[in-house]
Structures are given as C-alpha cells and as structure tokens.
C-alpha cells in the first residue's frame, strides 16, 4: 500500500462503533459526542475576561434540543437568530432570560388561510427574552412597544472577517447591525423612547487572527464611549462568535486563550479610562459543535470518467450543503466493509441528489471547482464518514430535496451509549402538511 495522505477518522466515532450503528440505523445519520461537546463548552467558558463572562451558544449551528440542554447544564446561555429559534429554545426548556434574540426578522407569525398563530416580538419580550435591535427600524419598533425600558444594540463596526464574503458578517458589504456611523441616529431614537442601551453587540464573521478580534473590540469599545457620554448605563459588550475551527489539516483554529487575552486587556484599558467595567459576552456556535459531530453515510456507487473517479453516497446536500455554498472543507474517511488491502485513489465524492452541485470535494473556498481527495479505494457498501459536521449541517441542509427524508441524529452519551435524539423522517411526515385541493 502506498503511504497514506488520507485524513483520520472523526474523534466522535470508531470504525467498530460506526459499523455497529449502521447495523441498527439506516444511513445517513449524524452522530454527536456528549463528552466532546462538554469538553468544548469548558474551553469556551475559560475565555479570558476582566470583569465577568457569559458564553451564549449560537443555536443556529445545531438546534437539537438535547444539545441545547447539554449546554444549559454547563451554564451556557443562548443566542437566537429568529423569533422561531427563540420559541424553539423556550419549548426545549431554556429559561427565556437566558436567550438573546438577534434577528433580521424577530417576528414569527404563521398563516395558513384558516387560522393565524401569532408568536410576536412583544410576546417574546414579555416572556423575558432579551432583545438585540439590529436596525434603526427595529429599535423604533421596540421603543413603541416598550418605552422606558432597557435594550441592546447590534452595531456593524465597519470591518469583518471570514474566508469569503459569504461568511463575513461585518463591513460595508454586510447588512447585519446598525452601521457604526449611524450611532447618533440610534441615540436620538433611544432618547425619543426613553430607552437605556445596556449592551452593545458586534459580530464580524469567522476567523482565527487575534489581532482582528482585538481591533474589533477596540472599535466596539470606542462606540461604547459614545453611549456612556450620552448617559446610557452600558454594562455589557457582546463580541459575537465566529471563532474559526479547523476541520481539516491545512486549516487553523482560533486560539481562544490568545484571542481572549488581547480582548481582556482592551477591557481593562477601557475601565481605566472611563471607570466602567464591562461584562463580556461571546457567542460561539461552530466552535462548540463542529468537530463534535460526524455524518455516517454508505457508498452506493463508484463511477469514473476520463478525468475523475467518483464515489456516490446515500447523502449529499440533503445533510451537508456547506461545500456547495462556501467550498467548505470536511475530512472524509472510508471504512471498508471487508479486510482486503486497498490502494489509495483520488476521488470526487458526489451526493445522491439529481444536482450537479452536490459535491463534498470542492476546492478550498471555491464551490465552483472540484478538487479530488486521496481516499482508500472505494467499494459499494463501504461506509464513508464526514467529520466536522456538528455545526451548520443538520440545521442548514437542503432538507427534502428530491424528497429524501431528513436524516436521524444520534448522541453518544458519556457512558458511550448511543441514544437516538432525532428519528429518521418518514415519507408520510414529509407530506403531512400538504393539502389536497383537486
């Protein structure tokens, strides 16, 4: 056998356990490790800080209620990116006062022609959810509903970070937050409705450079001075999430300790200058769950053209759309179903959908280009494991495309016992909301 350049198996699973699970459950399915999730939570909770820390899990990364409960039990709070997410967290047992709603659309009103189910912003705030206004319009709406109250503001600091514009949530090309040059308009609205701004929030995207986080912290703290000067009781600075996680060998993870120390010193300097000791909040999502989950699939076909060898699996964009959207990289490993020696070959890994974009071996940061991976020689019936799929896969897939059912999810408990936390969807469940009118 030639020397391997193939990627290691996800730490979530062993070959033996993967084969055992496949004997019980239909592929594809996600597997998460409770032990690894809790270990990662501990790392986030140790983020350096000067005057107190709250870690909020960005639940959009993976919103299964069992994962929410694991983090709740570790003392983590929550970031909701829509009114629906906030209600989902509440229905999962998360106390409303531990939820911060930061959303382009905080309302969630459902209509189907026969009834209206209204779960409004007003309802959420009356329940105790904290609101983070992301635009001047949202701030005015909140002021109309709750004058003489406290509120949070999301500011676009003017710069961003990320491996592409699709993962950059700061700067002039991003719609998220109130543009930093419009702070004085926000102050006028706050005065109009007698609002106290107690929290500033920024989120710039994903990256690993500590100097970028330090720069954003400084810019955000400078914005904070304007609110203090205007008489606001600013108590919290939320620096968002986006802490880069290396899923494959050539990527670099954020060092939270290095990043946090630079931010901590900025808070100390701010306190010395203003007399205000600000509480720090961070909102990791990917960092908490990415490498704590993997996707187990089965090879259903092997093909070739004059240019490429192809592996076809019983999954694809229906479970992991990140490579198609961003050119994101995930470790891919084949588990042979027999004990024969295998060569190493280069493959394109393709999904089961009728969709040419369903490719998991795209070029780095380029979803339009193919980049074959070195894998064990593939045979029909082998298992193929995709690592780093704990974040933005189950929660952000093209569910039900080609009418493929939603995949199951399994949690490996701390006692190494597999427990089903989401059953595989049935065709009947997929169609249950359709109505016959003809």
Instruction: Give the separation between CA 279 and CA 277, rounded to whole angstroms.
Output: 7
**Cα dihedral angle (60, 62, 64, 68), rounded to 10 degrees?**
-80
By the 10 Å C-beta count (0-12 exposed, 13-18 middle, 19+ buried), 229 is classed as exposed
Instruction: Give the separation between CA 311 and CA 214, rounded to whole angstroms.
Output: 44
Q: Is 41 helix (H, G, I), strand (E, B) or coil?
A: helix
Instruction: Give the separation between CA 19 and CA 201, rounded to whole angstroms.
Output: 45
By the 10 Å C-beta count (0-12 exposed, 13-18 middle, 19+ buried), 426 is classed as exposed
Q: Is 139 helix (H, G, I), strand (E, B) or coil?
A: helix
Instruction: Give the separation between CA 59 and CA 54, rounded to whole angstroms.
Output: 15
Instruction: Give the separation between CA 11 and CA 2, rounded to whole angstroms.
Output: 24
What helix, strand, coil percent values describe the chain, rounded to 5?
30, 25, 40
Q: Which residues are 101's β-sheet partners?
A: 80, 131
Is the preceding peptide bond at 28 cis, omega within 30 degrees of 0? yes
Is residue 301 within 8 Å of residue 259, measured between CB atoms?
no
Secondary structure in 3-state letters for 326-351 = HCCCCCEEEECCCCCCCCEEEEEEEC
Is residue 18 within 8 Å of residue 412, measured between CB atoms?
no
Cβ atoms within 10 A of the Cβ of 399, count?
A: 17
Active site residues: 354
Q: What is the per-residue burial (b if ≥16 Cβ within 10 Å, else e) of 112-134?
A: eeeeeeebebeebbeeebbbbbb
Q: Is 236 helix (H, G, I), strand (E, B) or coil?
A: strand
Is residue 200 within 8 Å of residue 157, measured between CB atoms?
no
Q: How far is CA 213 from CA 157, 231, 251, 258, 329, in A?
A: 12, 27, 18, 10, 24
């Amino acid at each position: 056998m030639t020397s391997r350049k193939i990627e290691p198996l996800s730490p979530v699973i062993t070959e033996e356990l993967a084969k055992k699970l496949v004997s019980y459950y239909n592929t594809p399915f996600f597997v998460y490790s409770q032990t690894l999730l809790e270990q990662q939570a501990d790392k986030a909770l140790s983020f350096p800080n000067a005057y107190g820390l709250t870690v909020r899990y960005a639940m959009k990364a993976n919103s299964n209620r069992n994962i929410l409960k694991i983090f709740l039990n570790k003392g983590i709070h929550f970031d909701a990116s829509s009114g629906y997410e906030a209600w989902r967290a509440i229905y999962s047992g998360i106390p409303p006062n531990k939820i911060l709603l930061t959303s382009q659309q905080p309302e969630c009103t459902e209509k189907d022609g026969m009834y209206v189910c209204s779960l409004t912003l007003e309802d959420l705030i009356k329940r105790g959810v904290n609101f983070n206004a992301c635009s001047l319009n949202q701030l005015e709406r909140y002021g109309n509903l709750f004058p003489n109250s406290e509120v949070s503001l999301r500011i676009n600091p003017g710069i961003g970070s990320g491996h592409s514009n699709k993962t950059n949530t700061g700067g002039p090309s991003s719609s998220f937050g109130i543009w930093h040059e419009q702070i004085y308009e926000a102050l006028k609205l706050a005065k109009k409705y007698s609002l106290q701004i107690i929290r500033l929030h920024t989120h710039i995207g994903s990256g690993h450079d500590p100097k970028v986080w330090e720069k954003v912290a400084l810019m955000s703290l400078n914005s904070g001075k304007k609110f203090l000067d205007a008489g606001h009781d600013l108590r919290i600075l939320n620096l968002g999430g986006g802490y880069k996680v290396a899923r494959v060998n050539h990527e670099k993870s954020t060092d939270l300790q290095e990043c946090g120390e630079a931010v901590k010193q900025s808070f100390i300097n701010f306190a010395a200058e203003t007399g205000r000791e600000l509480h720090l909040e961070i909102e990791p999502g990917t960092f908490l769950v990415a490498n704590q989950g993997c996707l187990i699939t089965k090879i259903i076909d092997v093909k070739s053209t004059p240019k490429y060898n192809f592996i076809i699996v019983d999954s694809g964009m229906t479970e992991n759309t990140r490579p198609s959207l961003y050119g994101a990289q995930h470790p891919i490993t084949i588990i042979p179903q027999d004990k024969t020696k295998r060569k190493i070959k280069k493959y394109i890994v393709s999904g089961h959908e009728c969709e040419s974009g369903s490719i998991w071996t795209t070029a780095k940061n380029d979803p339009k280009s193919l980049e074959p991976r070195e894998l064990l020689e593939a045979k029909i019936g082998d298992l193929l494991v995709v690592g780093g799929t704990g974040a933005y896969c189950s929660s952000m897939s093209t569910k039900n495309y080609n009418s493929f059912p939603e995949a199951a999810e399994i949690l490996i408990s701390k006692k190494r016992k597999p427990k089903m936390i989401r059953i595989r969807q049935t065709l009947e469940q997929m169609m249950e909301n359709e109505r016959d009118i003809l």
